[in-house]
Amino acid sequence: MNPEIRVRFAPSPTGYLHVGSLRTALYNFLYARRNSGKFILRIEDTDQSRFVEGAVENLISTMQAVGLEYEEGPYFQSQRTEIYQDYARQLIEKGAAYHCFCTPEELEIRRQEQIERGEDGKYDGRCLLLSREEAAHRLQQGDAYVIRLRVPREGEIIFHDLVREKVVFPWDMVDDQVLIKSDGYPTYHLANVVDDHLMQITHVIRGEEWLSSVPKHLLLYQQLGWHPPKMAHLPLLLNPDKSKLSKRQGDVAVEDFLKKGILPETLINFVALLGWHPAGDREIFSLPELVNAFSLKRISKAGAVFDQDKLKWMNGQYLRNLNLNIIAERAKVFFQEKGYPINDHEKYLKLIDFGRQRVSLLSEMPVELKTFFLPPEFGAEDRLILQQEKSRRLLELWADKLNSARQITAEEITTLLQESSQLLEIRGKDLYSPLRLALWGSCHGPDLSLLIDILGREESVNRLQKALRGGKE
């Protein structure tokens, strides 16, 4: 019987959730759900210098906002330091790790000397030459130290990655990695391996940038007598110019995309396709559909371009096709930020249904629909149209008819258009342009019955009369 699939998302609490981290979390989530496994959240907070207050809460709320629920956690590595220190001591006792007393200043001087000689700047293993007695003496007198992993100097390591397939690393490219820092906290490498083992992680799915760490991790598994999990390293996310996606190139935080009106459903769908491709040409997937379609075998080796134009296109698809009530609820905050009243729910839904056909972002809704809330302003060319005799007669007729009508329905508007055309002998743009201009501020706009229905009788009449006054209040 195969063991239960257990995967983890293990971010550092250093600020916002990067879209690359979202993809890592998503692929782990999809793989767990696809295989009836467990998705675990682990906070790797052992680097106290990079800890950002509120980052954990922000991380969890952002994951919840996009629908990524975890079964276990969050576990905090900062609360497990004694566990890591105990395993570090075991590694020292068997000669797989050693104390290093070199100061940061000494290490920097040697690194510069190596670079000047054209060598890779890495630790030269100097403290490996210390006898056990000398190391014990320096510990006894309170010298600051770190604990380093003892890495082979010759040969190579070969391992299989579920995405990269066969990977080979010469050992002389691998540094004697620090396992325990001078402050007593573990580095990512030791804590990662210990926790993955103790939490029974079966598959490690993470970014390509961690591929070079695998030799150190596999060596730790070997020295501790543990069986390593299977590994899959995801391709890099790239800017359109093929540089690595970074904050310098624009938005990369999940919360930034959500705040400007990208729907959670869109972001999940879009990010899922950055490095993974389903069978066929389909591009629009709900989260449950992604679960059913996902496979590690269909992850690409090549970097994936983060195309924001494609993201906006996809968001437009979701805006037009998701349930209207969902879109209306998500859009509320953007209208509230502008101070636009949306108290009449029925009219608000009509407003959203009109607007979602014309925008790509929720944040664009109030901009696109502002004329429903703010009376139009007229330019010189607009006034020329409105001041024509036939336009004035048309606007006067409509202001009078709307003001006196018992009810204003779509059928009533159609009838009034027909009456106006016959009575004033106008048709086409001479009929529609002045009305839309007076009510909407443009010769092109919503269907007149929809426009008047949302504006209401009083506001429609006020706008017609304002247009008759040449745009003056």
- Asked whether the beta carbons of 100 and 128 are under 8 A apart, the reply is no
The C-alpha atoms of residue 116 and residue 183 are separated, in whole angstroms, by 31
Residue whose tokens read 């924001």: 308
What tokens were used for 368? 């696109």
Nearest to 424 by CA among 395, 464, 451: 395
The C-alpha atoms of residue 449 and residue 454 are separated, in whole angstroms, by 9
Mark whether 247 is an active-site residue.
yes
Contacting residues for 189 by C-beta, under 8 A, at least 6 apart: 149, 177, 179, 213, 216, 217, 220
Contacting residues for 55 by C-beta, under 8 A, at least 6 apart: 13, 14, 15, 16
The C-alpha atoms of residue 432 and residue 410 are separated, in whole angstroms, by 15
Among 247, 301, 338, 429, the active-site one is: 247
- Asked whether the beta carbons of 304 and 274 are under 8 A apart, the reply is yes
Q: Which amino acid is at 125?
A: G
Contacting residues for 287 by C-beta, under 8 A, at least 6 apart: 67, 265, 268
DSSP-derived secondary structure letter, 150: -
> Can you spell out the DSSP letters for 306-337?
--HHHHHHHHHHHHHHS-HHHHHHHHHHHHHH
CA 73 to chain centre: 21
Q: Which contacts (CB < 8 Å, 24+ apart) does range 129-137 have?
A: 130/98, 130/99, 130/101, 135/98, 135/99, 135/101
Phi/psi for 139 (5° steps) reads -65, -40
Residue whose tokens read 């195309």: 307
Cα distances (Å, whole numbers) of residue 460 to 113, 295, 375, 399, 455: 79, 56, 10, 8, 6
Q: Is 468 exposed, middle or buried (0-12, 13-18, 19+ CB in 10 A)?
A: middle
CA 205 to chain centre: 18
Q: Is 335 exposed, middle or buried (0-12, 13-18, 19+ CB in 10 A)?
A: buried
Residue whose tokens read 């009510």: 439
Catalytic positions, written as ranges = 247
